[in-house]
Amino acid sequence: FKSRDIERRSLDVDGLKRSFLEWLVYSVGKDARAATRRDWFHTVALAVRDRVVDRWMDTTRSYYHEDAKRVYYLSLEFLIGRLLTNSLSNLGIVDECRQALDRLGLSMEDVVDAEPDAALGNGGLGRLAACFLDSMASQGLPGYGYGIRYEFGLFEQRFENGWQVEYPEQWLQFGNPWEFARPEVLYPVQFYGRVEEFRDSVGERAYRWVDADRVLAMAYDTPVVGFGGETINTLRLWSARATRDFNFGHFNDGAYMKAVEQKILSENLSRVLYPNDATETGKELRLKQEYFFTSASLQDILRRYLQHHTTFENLPNKAAIQLNDTHPAIGIAELMRLLVDQHALRWDDAWEITRATFAYTNHTLLPEALEAWPVRMIERVLPRHMQIIYEINAKFLNRTKAKAAGDNARLSRLSLIDERGERRVRMGNLAFLGSHKVNGVSALHTDLMKQTVFADFHEEFPDRINNKTNGITPRRWLKQANPALSELITTRIGEGWISDLSQIAALREKADDVVFREEFRRAKRKNKKRLAAYIARQTGEEVLVDSIFDVQVKRMHEYKRQLLNVLHTIALYNEMRDNPTVSWVPVTKVFAGKAAPSYHMAKLIIKLINDVAKVVNHDPSVHDNLKVVLLPNYNVTAAEIIIPAADLSEQISTAGMEASGTGNMKLALNGALTIGTLDGANVEIREHVGADNIFIFGMTADEVNDLRASGGFNPREVIASNPSLKRALDMISTGAFSPDDRNRYHPIVQALTDGGDHFLVTADFADYCRAQDAAMQLYRDPEEWTRKAILNTANMGWFSSDRTVNEYAGEIWDVHPVKPSHDG
Ligand code: 26W
């Protein structure tokens, strides 16, 4: 027993190898001859998990013994991607594992590639949550992630005839070696029913929620390995389980099967992630998902708190709950319900505790993304919560200044209920009111929050809104994804940058070192070869490694303006055809991203990119100087291959519309130069990397605002005055890229012309082309390009999510690192 015990912890090559063989036989149930790559992945993951478990329990025990204040990050999305390389790297045993596999005749890459990508998120918001988990664990902060264990993650995207087609993402199909099922951690969550009023023991009016349907939330825990392996935190995801209680009426009716069917249906709650990024559909199942995981998480948080406390006044000193957008905002009403109805607190005390415990992060200002649930729906699904929301609203509106001033318009804007049309609950207002701090995710976005959606609330509560500019984890996005560059960096400045990215500033002086530049280019070239091979495998297209890799990877959305990039591509194609004797800088346009399945315009843009690629890539008159590729199924795993290989990073949203962006940070950290608008965090990236080392173009957020306020502009005039834009648009509209269906792109052309060009694509086109030309000219001078690329990497230290999380910890959560004791 003792020796096996040691075996499970051993971090050397021999110990790992013996563990692998043991796990393969006794847990996977195969011998080495019969094992598939997937069997080996499961084997290695289980052996690595062994190396984590003791430290995980130590960490949890230390938090418990110190009764440390914890932070709970409530998020409907965690876009974590693969975990094997991440765990090995944070444990510091990548090489040992590679050697152990080598001795077994296996390739580490093959084993790593057998892991499915955990895509429990749509895009930026979900990935941010995953970066925060890594940063909290890496800094010893007592942070828990709470979310849903979706059986199906974000859909798998394939292209069929150039169109996006969605397939279910069955990431759990072959089991998940990282998670621990906790069948004993089970909480009831109710829906529907009605509210009964009664008199409590002291004769006060009280309420209970009765005749409700019940579902159980069952916990699955995944260890979150911090860098260095000191702290191992927990990501707890809830899965819906049917209750065992039966409706006896059904038995008597002989409807046993019907009763069982109802139970089975209740498990649909955790079946699938909604694939909408920034469009709210108002579906009842979605509301139920939000309440399901929020209620289970709050019950769990209170249970943990009550291990050390008997009253609730200390809850805000022991728990900080961060709402990742409004998706868990119903938690404010739920905590009130738990405190008032179940624990008999007085309303005002409960409200004070609730507000001191919650904080809310806003991730978008797009009106179509702001959650507003119909009152009728909440009344039906969560009747007691609707009452509580009314009560919160009444008390708030009664004491606002607007009331005194008789400013009814302002009162109705502050109200939790939107009374225009069908009455709806504004979840953003609820989240704001129920939180002690509300933050935006970049300096510009936070300013715009104060000026737009939350202007009235900001006036009412001037200290509540604050900024926390997003960040990214340097472990996954530099160390793991870009071994070539990270090894080079470490040879020059040591490895302190991995846990303190500000140290990467030491590379600044290396920008003038001709030898370092050569090595930096060599690392980039290696990554570009890797991407070229990936492109060939995925699309069959051969691209020039020496071309500019011009990369736009993100969700497909009109505001992100992939169309602007496509129009430039077509204009460049025309120029190259018109001037075949000019020596062009070869360009490879790399696109990747998913469209929401119901977002027809975004899907049409995908088809357009594929159609343009087909024409351009097969036109011999451009001599391979231009290639266009749209990579399928963009996810964290694909990002790890694409981002380190990029030369140019496209961050070209209409100013004022991208809350922050985080892909912009990943690309710049990996030495890509940004071409972008002054939107989101691009503004701060420019400040850090220097205006000389970034290509900024286009209207500012203020200019966009003014233009729209003054009644917009006439895209027809802009188009008529720009021949290359006119020609590109004419080609699209006359079917040059869609000879099989010449009207296919009518909706796109329409939106850019008579539709008024809401996203100002035509308005920014000329300046975008100017910036693109400047980038192409600079690329002709490899030394100068590399110098700027190095300065990008060197100046991105501030954008570490360690810095972001520390700001949250100090200014919102008041949580502090805990050093786990590892001596039992
Ligand atoms: C279904 C409704 C809905 C509404 C909003 C789904 C998803 C959202 C998210 C807020 C969209 C999102 O991911 N926002 C992104 O958040 C990132 C992290 O803060 C920012 O970097 C991006 O700019 C922002 O678009």
Phi, psi of 704, deg, nearest 5: -60, -45
CA of residue 131 to ligand 1 center, whole Å: 15
**Ligand 1 atom closest to 659 (CA):** 23
Name the residue among 555, 559, 621, 563 with its Cα closest to residue 589: 563
> In whole angstroms, how far apart are CA 174 and each of 41, 96, 149?
11, 26, 15
Name the residue among 664, 666, 586 with its Cα closest to residue 622: 586
| Mutational pocket test of ligand 1: of 132, 363, 366, the residue with most ligand atoms within 8 Å of the beta carbon | 363
Burial group, residue 305, by CB count within 10 angstroms (0-12, 13-18, 19+): middle
CA of residue 796 to ligand 1 center, whole Å: 22
CA of residue 363 to ligand 1 center, whole Å: 5
pTM of the complete model: 0.98
Closest C-alpha to ligand 1, atom 8? 278
The answer to whether the CB of 166 falls within 8 A of the CB of 157 is yes
CA of residue 155 to ligand 1 center, whole Å: 17
The answer to whether the CB of 476 falls within 8 A of the CB of 131 is yes
Query: Does any ligand 1 atom lie closer than 6 A to the CB of residue 472?
Result: no
Query: Does any ligand 1 atom lie closer than 6 A to the CB of residue 440?
Result: no
CA–CA separation, 734 and 741 (whole Å): 10
Query: Does any ligand 1 atom lie closer than 6 A to the CB of residue 660?
Result: yes
User: Residue 471's Cα: distance from chain center in Å?
Assistant: 11
pLDDT tens for 33-91 read 999 999 999 999 999 999 999 999 999 999 999 999 999 999 999 999 999 999 999 99
Name the residue among 409, 412, 368, 417 with its Cα closest to residue 392: 417
Query: Does any ligand 1 atom lie closer than 6 A to the CB of residue 659?
Result: yes
Q: Report, in this order, helix, strand and coil percent for the chain, each rounded to 5.
A: 55, 15, 30
| Mutational pocket test of ligand 1: of 283, 285, 325, the residue with most ligand atoms within 8 Å of the beta carbon | 325
Q: Which residues are catalytic?
A: 363, 554-555, 560, 662, 666
Query: Does any ligand 1 atom lie closer than 6 A to the CB of residue 550?
Result: no
CA of residue 364 to ligand 1 center, whole Å: 6
pLDDT at 3: 55
3-state secondary structure of 500: coil
CA of residue 102 to ligand 1 center, whole Å: 42
Closest C-alpha to ligand 1, atom 21? 661
Question: What number of CA atoms fall less than 13 Å from residue 538's CA on the CB side?
Answer: 22
Query: Does any ligand 1 atom lie closer than 6 A to the CB of residue 130?
Result: no
In the chain, which residues have pLDDT < 50? Answer: 1
Query: Does any ligand 1 atom lie closer than 6 A to the CB of residue 32?
Result: no
Strands 695-696 and 673-676: parallel
Query: Does any ligand 1 atom lie closer than 6 A to the CB of residue 656?
Result: no
Closest C-alpha to ligand 1, atom 13? 125
CA of residue 675 to ligand 1 center, whole Å: 22
CA–CA separation, 111 and 591 (whole Å): 28
Q: Which helix (H) or strand (E) holds 147?
A: strand 143-148
pLDDT at 4: 54
Alpha helices (H) in 635-737, listed in sequence order: 636-642, 663-669, 682-689, 701-709, 715-720, 723-734
pLDDT at 448: 98
> In whole angstroms, how far apart are CA 318 and each of 301, 351, 585, 687, 720?
10, 16, 59, 37, 63
**Phi/psi class of residue 283: alpha, beta or left (left: φ > 0; alpha: ψ in -120 to 50)?**
beta
Query: Does any ligand 1 atom lie closer than 6 A to the CB of residue 364?
Result: yes
What sign has the CA pseudo-torsion 212, 218, 219, 220?
Answer: negative
pLDDT tens for 107-118 read 999 999 999 999
Query: Does any ligand 1 atom lie closer than 6 A to the CB of residue 366?
Result: no
Do the interacting molecules here have an ipTM over 0.85? yes
Query: Does any ligand 1 atom lie closer than 6 A to the CB of residue 276?
Result: yes
Phi, psi of 632, deg, nearest 5: -75, 155
| Mutational pocket test of ligand 1: of 78, 120, 327, 364, the residue with most ligand atoms within 8 Å of the beta carbon | 364
Query: Does any ligand 1 atom lie closer than 6 A to the CB of residue 653?
Result: no
**Ligand 1 atom closest to 441 (CA):** 19
CA–CA separation, 217 and 239 (whole Å): 6
